[in-house]
Amino acid sequence: MRNIIKLSITLAVVGIISAALLTGVHNVTAPIITERQEEEYRQALEFYFPEVASYESEEIGDDYFDIIYDQSGDMIGVMGTIEQQGYDGTITYNLAMDESGSIVGIRIVSHSETPGIGDVITTEGFQEQFIGKSYEDPIVAGDDVDAVTGATVSSSAMINSVRRVAGVVAENYLGVESVEIDLAEVPDGTYQGSAPGLGGELFIEVEVSGGEIVSIEVTEHSETPTYFVESYPLIPDTIIAEQSLDIDTNTGATVSANAIVEAVENALLVALGHEVEVEEPDEESPVEVNISEVPDGIYEGSAEGFYGPIVVEVEVSDGQIVNISVLQQEETPEYFANANPAIPDCIIEEQSLDVDTQTGGTFSAKGIVQAVLDALTGALDSDSGGEN
């Protein structure tokens, strides 16, 4: 009995001394830590908005925003603190936008992306492509900003997040009215919509009947299957159950979930006759050319790859593509090897440009397809124009 008491007292004493010590050190370091973090944030803020005089914090959803005012009390911009799921954990970053809605800066606060791969998001080269972009720009990978080959997940997550936050800022602080969708006004029918997901464009088909969404079908996507199941069919089901697009998209696959919601929104906006900035359709699904109409001959075409133009030579004989050779390219050899000759072979075999470009060198692969398309359309144009 006495032994137990002795043991307990020993443990208690050790615990108490330890707690006292920790409290002491905490009291010393805690103010320094907070001060330092605030200081860092303030420095970033002053860097982006040199005329800052005061700011006001606000929370919208899961995002924090500081509305920044100058001496005379005019709003000069907004700086958001955003948490975004990356490839490996949460990416916390600040997004600074000026009062006209242009992005003035991106600052990664913390991340745990793969060193040497996903940490490309911290590089100036990646971040500066956002500078000057506004909420009116598409901010879509492969359109006006580039995802980074080999780090597609990390860079797409950032791109999609920046696009979303730019929209939130525009809607809440810049007086840009978001178009309200009144489901009752949507005529019955089936509508298609698309939005960029994590792996590429995601296509949906939404059916509206009697002013209600009755079904949402994802017709095409390039999301990671293991994550995608977290959002599908959960997200469509939630939209249908609530008959609203204002739903919680915090699933294990938030980017995919947001893409579904955005795609449904786009489809409904089109249905209501609004103009929606639709992604370049030929980027994802090449315009088909009728190969049988192309006269025999050898045609040259070019298109942008990842690093520069890719020039191809296409030989057509009897309405069939018989040979495709790449004349010129500046792609990374390792990645390009994944796209060539696989993609030309695939096009020749299928006699179609609608081939799967998800290789280890997607940008190069798309470049080749576009270059072939360019050659064939060029052949058709010059033929019909009679200039040959």
> Could you tell me the smallest distance in angstroms from the CB atom of residue 176 to another protein?
36
Within 153-172, the residues that bind another protein by CB under 8 A are none
> Could you tell me the smallest distance in angstroms from the CB atom of residue 29 to another protein?
4
Q: Which residues pair with 311 in a beta bridge?
A: 302, 328
Cα three-residue angle 50-56-59, rounded to 5 degrees: 120
Sign of CA dihedral 269, 270, 276, 282: positive
Q: Which residues contact 14 (CB under 8 A, 6 or more apart)?
A: none
Residue closer to another protein by CB (options 127, 266) is 127
**42 near another protein, rule: CB under 8 A:** no
Q: How many CB atoms lie within 10 A of CB 317?
A: 13
CB 193 within 8 A of CB 274: no
Residue closer to another protein by CB (options 31, 132) is 31
The kind and range of the H/E element at 325 are strand 320-328
CB 101 within 8 A of CB 85: no
Among 36, 54, 71, 350, contact with another protein (rule: CB under 8 A): 36
> Could you tell me the smallest distance in angstroms from the CB atom of residue 31 to another protein?
9
> Could you tell me the smallest distance in angstroms from the CB atom of residue 110 to another protein?
7
Residue closer to another protein by CB (options 154, 160) is 154
> Could you tell me the smallest distance in angstroms from the CB atom of residue 155 to another protein?
16
Q: Choose among 54, 83, 57: nearest CA to 173.
A: 57
Residue closer to another protein by CB (options 112, 292) is 112
Instruction: Please write down the long-range contacts of 354-358, taking CB distance under 8 Å and 24 or more positions apart.
Output: 354/285, 354/286, 354/288, 358/199, 358/200, 358/222
CB 215 within 8 A of CB 240: yes
Site string for another protein, 109-148 (x = CB under 8 A): -x-x-xxxx-------------------------------
> Could you tell me the smallest distance in angstroms from the CB atom of residue 342 to another protein?
25
Sign of CA dihedral 374, 379, 385, 388: positive
Q: Is residue 47 classed as helix, strand or coil in its secondary structure?
A: helix
Residue closer to another protein by CB (options 7, 287) is 7
Residue closer to another protein by CB (options 113, 374) is 113
> Could you tell me the smallest distance in angstroms from the CB atom of residue 23 to another protein?
11
Residue closer to another protein by CB (options 18, 351) is 18
> Could you tell me the smallest distance in angstroms from the CB atom of residue 329 to another protein?
19
Within 83-112, the residues that bind another protein by CB under 8 A are 110, 112
Within 247-306, the residues that bind another protein by CB under 8 A are none
> Could you tell me the smallest distance in angstroms from the CB atom of residue 17 to another protein?
8
The residue assigned the tokens 């072979």 is 345
HSE of 328, CA atoms in CB hemisphere, 13 A: 8
Q: Choose among 197, 130, 124: nearest CA to 157.
A: 197
Within 5-34, the residues that bind another protein by CB under 8 A are 6-7, 10-11, 14-15, 18, 21-22, 25-26, 28-30, 32-33
Size of the site for another protein (CB under 8 A): 24
Footprint of another protein on this chain (CB under 8 A)? 3, 6-7, 10-11, 14-15, 18, 21-22, 25-26, 28-30, 32-33, 36, 110, 112, 114-117
